Amino acid sequence: MKIEDLHFELPTETVDEGNWELEKWRKEHPMDYFKALHILNMSDDSTVKAEVFKTIYRITRMHIPDVLYKYYSLSDNETSNMKKFQTLSDGQIYMSDIKDFNDPFDGQGFFYDATQLADIERLKPHGGRFIDSFNAYIKAASLTSNGIQSMPMWAHYSNNHAGFCVSYDMKANIGLSSCTFPVQYTDIRLDVTSLMKTQAQKTADTIDRQTTSGNKEIILDDLTIVFMACLLCNLKHTSWSYEQEFRCTTGAIAAGMPYIEARPKEIFIGMNCAPRHAERLIKIAASWKIPVYRMEFDERSEQYALTARNMNDSV
Protein backbone atom coordinates (compact mmCIF):
# COMPACT_ATOMS: atom_id res chain seq x y z
CA MET A 1 0.00 0.00 0.00
CA LYS A 2 1.24 3.49 -0.88
CA ILE A 3 1.42 5.96 1.96
CA GLU A 4 -0.65 8.49 -0.01
CA ASP A 5 -3.49 5.95 -0.18
CA LEU A 6 -3.85 5.78 3.58
CA HIS A 7 -7.18 7.13 4.73
CA PHE A 8 -8.81 6.94 8.11
CA GLU A 9 -11.97 8.41 9.57
CA LEU A 10 -10.96 10.11 12.79
CA PRO A 11 -13.34 9.67 15.75
CA THR A 12 -15.54 12.61 16.65
CA GLU A 13 -17.47 11.25 19.64
CA THR A 14 -16.74 12.56 23.12
CA VAL A 15 -15.07 10.14 25.53
CA ASP A 16 -17.03 9.41 28.68
CA GLU A 17 -14.17 9.62 31.16
CA GLY A 18 -16.37 8.37 33.99
CA ASN A 19 -16.92 5.01 32.29
CA TRP A 20 -13.57 4.77 30.54
CA GLU A 21 -11.61 1.56 31.15
CA LEU A 22 -8.00 1.21 30.03
CA GLU A 23 -8.07 -2.53 29.26
CA LYS A 24 -11.30 -2.19 27.29
CA TRP A 25 -9.83 0.75 25.36
CA ARG A 26 -6.64 -1.21 24.55
CA LYS A 27 -8.67 -4.08 23.07
CA GLU A 28 -10.93 -1.79 21.05
CA HIS A 29 -8.09 0.48 19.86
CA PRO A 30 -4.92 -1.57 19.18
CA MET A 31 -1.93 0.52 18.17
CA ASP A 32 -2.11 1.37 14.47
CA TYR A 33 1.11 2.91 13.15
CA PHE A 34 -0.38 3.38 9.68
CA LYS A 35 -3.05 5.60 11.17
CA ALA A 36 -0.45 7.39 13.30
CA LEU A 37 1.64 8.14 10.21
CA HIS A 38 -1.44 9.34 8.34
CA ILE A 39 -2.24 11.79 11.14
CA LEU A 40 1.40 12.86 11.37
CA ASN A 41 1.43 13.80 7.68
CA MET A 42 -1.79 15.81 7.74
CA SER A 43 0.35 18.93 8.23
CA ASP A 44 3.43 20.12 6.34
CA ASP A 45 4.54 22.30 9.25
CA SER A 46 7.51 20.70 11.05
CA THR A 47 6.54 22.33 14.37
CA VAL A 48 3.02 20.95 14.14
CA LYS A 49 4.38 17.52 13.23
CA ALA A 50 6.59 17.54 16.31
CA GLU A 51 3.58 18.27 18.52
CA VAL A 52 1.53 15.57 16.78
CA PHE A 53 4.31 13.06 17.32
CA LYS A 54 4.37 13.90 21.04
CA THR A 55 0.65 13.12 21.18
CA ILE A 56 1.11 9.85 19.28
CA TYR A 57 3.91 8.94 21.67
CA ARG A 58 1.64 9.58 24.66
CA ILE A 59 -0.92 7.24 23.12
CA THR A 60 1.70 4.50 22.75
CA ARG A 61 2.38 4.87 26.50
CA MET A 62 -1.22 3.89 27.20
CA HIS A 63 -0.58 0.53 25.54
CA ILE A 64 2.37 -0.42 27.76
CA PRO A 65 1.35 -3.01 30.42
CA ASP A 66 2.54 -2.69 34.01
CA VAL A 67 4.63 -5.86 33.62
CA LEU A 68 6.44 -7.24 30.58
CA TYR A 69 8.54 -10.37 30.20
CA LYS A 70 11.72 -11.33 28.38
CA TYR A 71 12.69 -14.91 27.57
CA TYR A 72 16.36 -15.87 27.49
CA SER A 73 17.95 -18.96 25.98
CA LEU A 74 20.88 -20.83 27.50
CA SER A 75 23.02 -23.27 25.55
CA ASP A 76 26.33 -25.14 25.51
CA ASN A 77 28.07 -21.85 24.77
CA GLU A 78 29.12 -20.94 28.29
CA THR A 79 30.71 -17.66 27.21
CA SER A 80 27.34 -16.50 25.89
CA ASN A 81 25.55 -17.83 28.97
CA MET A 82 27.89 -15.96 31.32
CA LYS A 83 27.30 -12.72 29.43
CA LYS A 84 23.54 -13.13 29.89
CA PHE A 85 23.94 -13.84 33.61
CA GLN A 86 26.22 -10.83 34.03
CA THR A 87 23.83 -8.55 32.16
CA LEU A 88 20.95 -9.71 34.37
CA SER A 89 23.09 -9.29 37.47
CA ASP A 90 23.96 -5.75 36.36
CA GLY A 91 20.30 -4.86 35.92
CA GLN A 92 20.51 -4.40 32.18
CA ILE A 93 19.10 -5.70 28.90
CA TYR A 94 21.28 -6.16 25.83
CA MET A 95 20.15 -4.16 22.79
CA SER A 96 20.71 -5.95 19.47
CA ASP A 97 20.97 -4.82 15.89
CA ILE A 98 17.69 -5.62 14.14
CA LYS A 99 19.63 -7.46 11.43
CA ASP A 100 20.61 -9.99 14.11
CA PHE A 101 17.00 -10.83 15.03
CA ASN A 102 15.74 -14.32 14.17
CA ASP A 103 13.35 -12.95 11.53
CA PRO A 104 15.33 -11.81 8.45
CA PHE A 105 12.31 -9.73 7.41
CA ASP A 106 12.17 -7.76 10.65
CA GLY A 107 12.13 -4.04 9.95
CA GLN A 108 10.84 -4.66 6.42
CA GLY A 109 7.29 -3.44 7.02
CA PHE A 110 7.97 -0.34 4.91
CA PHE A 111 10.12 0.52 1.90
CA TYR A 112 10.80 3.11 -0.77
CA ASP A 113 11.76 2.97 -4.46
CA ALA A 114 15.12 4.76 -4.73
CA THR A 115 14.81 5.12 -8.51
CA GLN A 116 11.96 7.57 -7.91
CA LEU A 117 14.39 9.87 -6.08
CA ALA A 118 17.11 9.73 -8.72
CA ASP A 119 16.06 13.05 -10.29
CA ILE A 120 17.10 14.90 -7.10
CA GLU A 121 20.47 16.42 -8.00
CA ARG A 122 22.28 15.47 -4.81
CA LEU A 123 21.07 11.87 -5.05
CA LYS A 124 21.82 11.25 -8.73
CA PRO A 125 25.32 9.84 -8.06
CA HIS A 126 23.72 7.42 -5.56
CA GLY A 127 20.92 6.15 -7.78
CA GLY A 128 18.37 7.98 -5.63
CA ARG A 129 19.34 6.19 -2.43
CA PHE A 130 18.61 8.53 0.46
CA ILE A 131 18.90 6.02 3.31
CA ASP A 132 20.30 2.55 2.68
CA SER A 133 18.87 0.86 5.76
CA PHE A 134 16.71 2.34 8.49
CA ASN A 135 17.59 -0.65 10.67
CA ALA A 136 21.24 0.42 10.78
CA TYR A 137 20.30 3.39 12.97
CA ILE A 138 18.38 1.37 15.55
CA LYS A 139 19.10 -1.05 18.36
CA ALA A 140 16.27 -3.04 19.87
CA ALA A 141 15.24 -5.62 22.46
CA SER A 142 12.11 -7.75 22.39
CA LEU A 143 9.77 -8.02 25.37
CA THR A 144 6.41 -9.76 25.53
CA SER A 145 3.11 -9.45 27.34
CA ASN A 146 2.88 -13.26 27.26
CA GLY A 147 3.39 -14.39 30.81
CA ILE A 148 5.08 -17.53 32.02
CA GLN A 149 2.31 -19.82 30.70
CA SER A 150 3.29 -19.31 27.06
CA MET A 151 4.65 -22.69 26.03
CA PRO A 152 5.63 -21.47 22.53
CA MET A 153 7.73 -18.69 24.08
CA TRP A 154 9.50 -21.16 26.37
CA ALA A 155 10.12 -23.47 23.41
CA HIS A 156 11.19 -20.86 20.85
CA TYR A 157 13.03 -18.27 22.94
CA SER A 158 14.19 -20.20 25.99
CA ASN A 159 15.80 -23.12 24.15
CA ASN A 160 13.00 -25.59 24.87
CA HIS A 161 12.68 -24.62 28.54
CA ALA A 162 16.46 -24.80 29.13
CA GLY A 163 16.70 -21.04 29.62
CA PHE A 164 14.87 -18.57 31.82
CA CYS A 165 12.34 -15.75 31.79
CA VAL A 166 12.50 -12.40 33.59
CA SER A 167 9.62 -10.10 34.42
CA TYR A 168 10.10 -6.33 34.48
CA ASP A 169 7.99 -3.77 36.31
CA MET A 170 7.61 -1.14 33.62
CA LYS A 171 6.57 1.54 36.10
CA ALA A 172 9.78 0.99 38.06
CA ASN A 173 11.92 0.99 34.90
CA ILE A 174 11.21 4.43 33.46
CA GLY A 175 14.10 4.38 30.98
CA LEU A 176 13.09 0.97 29.63
CA SER A 177 9.41 1.84 29.53
CA SER A 178 9.94 5.17 27.76
CA CYS A 179 11.69 3.42 24.85
CA THR A 180 9.22 0.53 24.55
CA PHE A 181 6.46 0.40 21.93
CA PRO A 182 3.71 -2.13 21.15
CA VAL A 183 4.34 -4.11 17.96
CA GLN A 184 1.70 -4.01 15.22
CA TYR A 185 1.22 -7.19 13.20
CA THR A 186 0.31 -6.78 9.54
CA ASP A 187 0.41 -8.52 6.17
CA ILE A 188 0.73 -5.19 4.35
CA ARG A 189 4.00 -3.40 3.57
CA LEU A 190 3.84 0.37 3.33
CA ASP A 191 5.39 2.10 0.30
CA VAL A 192 6.74 5.41 1.64
CA THR A 193 8.36 6.52 -1.64
CA SER A 194 6.35 9.74 -1.93
CA LEU A 195 7.20 10.78 1.64
CA MET A 196 10.88 9.95 1.12
CA LYS A 197 10.99 11.94 -2.10
CA THR A 198 9.42 14.98 -0.44
CA GLN A 199 11.75 14.79 2.54
CA ALA A 200 14.83 14.15 0.40
CA GLN A 201 14.06 17.22 -1.70
CA LYS A 202 13.46 19.32 1.43
CA THR A 203 16.75 18.12 2.88
CA ALA A 204 18.67 18.86 -0.33
CA ASP A 205 17.12 22.34 -0.56
CA THR A 206 17.95 23.05 3.09
CA ILE A 207 21.56 21.96 2.61
CA ASP A 208 21.92 24.09 -0.53
CA ARG A 209 20.33 27.13 1.13
CA GLN A 210 22.39 26.94 4.31
CA THR A 211 25.60 26.19 2.41
CA THR A 212 25.02 29.24 0.20
CA SER A 213 24.53 31.29 3.36
CA GLY A 214 27.93 30.17 4.60
CA ASN A 215 26.69 27.95 7.40
CA LYS A 216 29.34 25.50 8.57
CA GLU A 217 26.76 23.34 10.35
CA ILE A 218 23.58 22.24 8.58
CA ILE A 219 20.50 22.35 10.82
CA LEU A 220 17.53 20.20 9.83
CA ASP A 221 14.36 20.96 11.79
CA ASP A 222 12.01 18.60 9.94
CA LEU A 223 12.14 15.24 11.71
CA THR A 224 9.45 13.52 9.65
CA ILE A 225 11.73 10.66 8.58
CA VAL A 226 12.89 10.12 12.16
CA PHE A 227 9.27 10.02 13.36
CA MET A 228 8.34 7.62 10.57
CA ALA A 229 11.21 5.23 11.28
CA CYS A 230 10.50 5.36 15.02
CA LEU A 231 6.92 4.24 14.42
CA LEU A 232 7.25 1.84 11.50
CA CYS A 233 10.16 -0.15 12.94
CA ASN A 234 7.49 -1.69 15.18
CA LEU A 235 5.76 -3.52 12.32
CA LYS A 236 5.98 -7.31 12.02
CA HIS A 237 4.28 -9.90 9.84
CA THR A 238 1.01 -11.30 11.15
CA SER A 239 2.43 -14.80 11.51
CA TRP A 240 4.46 -13.58 14.50
CA SER A 241 1.44 -12.31 16.42
CA TYR A 242 1.60 -15.15 18.97
CA GLU A 243 4.65 -13.39 20.44
CA GLN A 244 2.60 -10.39 21.63
CA GLU A 245 5.79 -8.37 21.34
CA PHE A 246 6.65 -5.01 22.80
CA ARG A 247 9.84 -3.58 21.36
CA CYS A 248 12.36 -1.41 23.16
CA THR A 249 14.11 0.71 20.52
CA THR A 250 16.86 3.30 20.80
CA GLY A 251 19.29 5.04 18.51
CA ALA A 252 22.24 2.82 17.63
CA ILE A 253 24.70 5.34 19.10
CA ALA A 254 22.58 6.44 22.07
CA ALA A 255 24.30 6.78 25.44
CA GLY A 256 24.95 3.45 27.15
CA MET A 257 24.52 1.29 24.06
CA PRO A 258 24.40 -1.66 23.63
CA TYR A 259 22.74 -1.93 27.05
CA ILE A 260 19.72 -0.34 28.69
CA GLU A 261 18.99 -0.24 32.42
CA ALA A 262 16.35 -2.78 33.43
CA ARG A 263 15.83 -3.83 37.04
CA PRO A 264 14.32 -7.36 37.18
CA LYS A 265 11.11 -8.01 39.10
CA GLU A 266 11.07 -11.83 39.11
CA ILE A 267 13.12 -14.66 37.62
CA PHE A 268 11.55 -17.85 36.27
CA ILE A 269 13.86 -20.81 35.63
CA GLY A 270 12.95 -23.15 32.79
CA MET A 271 12.12 -26.71 33.84
CA ASN A 272 14.96 -28.07 31.64
CA CYS A 273 17.51 -25.54 32.86
CA ALA A 274 20.84 -27.13 33.82
CA PRO A 275 21.44 -27.28 37.61
CA ARG A 276 24.56 -25.08 37.40
CA HIS A 277 22.62 -22.44 35.48
CA ALA A 278 19.67 -22.62 37.86
CA GLU A 279 22.06 -22.15 40.80
CA ARG A 280 23.50 -19.03 39.21
CA LEU A 281 20.03 -17.59 38.60
CA ILE A 282 18.98 -18.26 42.19
CA LYS A 283 22.05 -16.36 43.42
CA ILE A 284 21.30 -13.44 41.09
CA ALA A 285 17.74 -13.30 42.44
CA ALA A 286 19.11 -13.28 45.98
CA SER A 287 21.42 -10.38 45.15
CA TRP A 288 18.45 -8.41 43.84
CA LYS A 289 16.22 -9.61 46.72
CA ILE A 290 13.53 -10.66 44.24
CA PRO A 291 11.43 -13.84 43.87
CA VAL A 292 12.81 -16.72 41.82
CA TYR A 293 10.77 -19.68 40.64
CA ARG A 294 11.39 -23.03 38.94
CA MET A 295 8.88 -23.92 36.25
CA GLU A 296 7.38 -27.40 36.55
CA PHE A 297 4.71 -29.52 34.90
CA ASP A 298 2.46 -31.76 36.97
CA GLU A 299 2.05 -34.99 35.04
CA ARG A 300 -1.08 -35.91 37.06
CA SER A 301 -2.85 -32.56 36.98
CA GLU A 302 -5.95 -31.94 34.89
CA GLN A 303 -4.68 -28.41 34.30
CA TYR A 304 -2.70 -28.15 31.05
CA ALA A 305 -0.41 -25.54 32.51
CA LEU A 306 2.98 -24.91 34.04
CA THR A 307 3.41 -24.25 37.74
CA ALA A 308 6.01 -21.98 39.34
CA ARG A 309 7.73 -23.35 42.46
CA ASN A 310 9.35 -20.78 44.72
CA MET A 311 13.12 -21.30 44.96
CA ASN A 312 14.07 -18.42 47.26
CA ASP A 313 14.91 -20.81 50.09
CA SER A 314 17.40 -22.69 47.90
CA VAL A 315 20.26 -20.22 48.33
Report pLDDT digits (tens) over 123-182: 999 999 999 888 889 999 999 999 999 999 999 999 999 999 999 999 999 999 999 999
Phi, psi of 287 (to 5 degrees): -65, -30
Query: Angle, to 10 degrees, between the axis of helix 33-40 and the axis of helix 224-232?
Result: 170
What is the average per-residue pLDDT within 26-40?
Answer: 94
Report pLDDT digits (tens) over 75-86: 999 999 999 999
Check: pTM over 0.85? Answer yes or no.
yes
Q: How confident is the model at residue 227 (pLDDT cuts 50, 70, 90)?
A: very high
Cβ atoms of 154 and 270 closer than 8 Å: yes
Residues 6+ apart with CB under 8 A from 96: 139, 140, 141, 258
What residue ranges do the domains of the chain occupy?
Answer: 65-223+233-314
What is the average per-residue pLDDT within 273-292?
Answer: 98
Does position 3 have pLDDT exceeding 60, yes or no? Answer: yes
What is the C-alpha separation between 313 and 154, in angstroms, rounded?
Answer: 24
Report pLDDT digits (tens) over 251-268: 999 999 999 999 999 999
Report pLDDT digits (tens) over 302-314: 999 999 999 997 6
Report pLDDT digits (tens) over 205-220: 999 898 888 887 878 8
Handedness of CA 230, 90, 64, 53 (dihedral sign): negative
Cβ atoms of 140 and 183 closer than 8 Å: no
Which amino acid belongs to residue 136?
A
